[in-house]
Amino acid sequence: MKSRRKFIQTLAVAGAASTLPISLMAQENKKQKMIHQVYFWLNEGVDTQDFIKEASELGKCKSVDKFYIGTPAPTEARDVVDSSYQVACTLFFKSIEDQNEYQVDPKHLAFIEKNATKWSTVKVYDFVI
């Protein structure tokens, strides 16, 4: 009787697992790559090009796979587009662990310490790919 119950429980678990999307099951079995986007609203009087030069150093952090930095694109104004920021960075990481390492990287911490007074607001958007 116990072996029959155990068999039925095993079938139930297997059946539930089979309803998960294949992509979700695959993600659970591998490291997830991650994108870390940072948007800066600079204080009045801060030179954007000097700030970009400083922020570009973030791309040299050991765990960063790819790094891009720029300013709002001169695209057509639409209600869904927020171009009120002055500088944005996009950092790619091979894993969430690499992004965690970046958070304590001396270059990242030095950038924050040196430049935190230059922005009024900073927003971060992280997502896995």
Whether residue 114 is found in the same domain as residue 86: yes
Whether residue 23 is found in the same domain as residue 37: no
Residue 120 CA to residue 79 CA, distance in Å, equals 23
CB atoms within 10 A of CB 1: 5
CB 38 within 8 A of CB 126: no
Res. 9 pLDDT band, cuts 50 70 90: low
pLDDT of residue 19: 52
pLDDT of residue 31: 84
Whether residue 74 is found in the same domain as residue 18: no
pLDDT in tens, 11-50: 454 554 555 555 554 555 568 999 999 999 999 999 999 9
pTM for this entry: 0.76
Average pLDDT for 110-119 = 98
pLDDT in tens, 56-81: 999 999 999 999 999 999 999 999 99
How many domains would you assign to the chain? 2
pLDDT of 104 strictly over 80? yes
Whether residue 57 is found in the same domain as residue 82: yes
**Average pLDDT of the residues of the chain:** 87
Which whole-number Å values give the CA distances from 9 to 4, 21, 92, 118, in the listed order?
9, 21, 42, 59
Residue 127 CA to residue 129 CA, distance in Å, equals 7
CB 60 within 8 A of CB 102: no
Whether residue 5 is found in the same domain as residue 52: no
Residue 122 CA to residue 88 CA, distance in Å, equals 9
Whether residue 19 is found in the same domain as residue 80: no
Residue 123 CA to residue 84 CA, distance in Å, equals 12
Whether residue 91 is found in the same domain as residue 36: yes
CA atoms within 13 A on the CB side of 126: 10
Whether residue 19 is found in the same domain as residue 60: no
- Domain carrying residue 19: 1-30
pLDDT of residue 53: 98
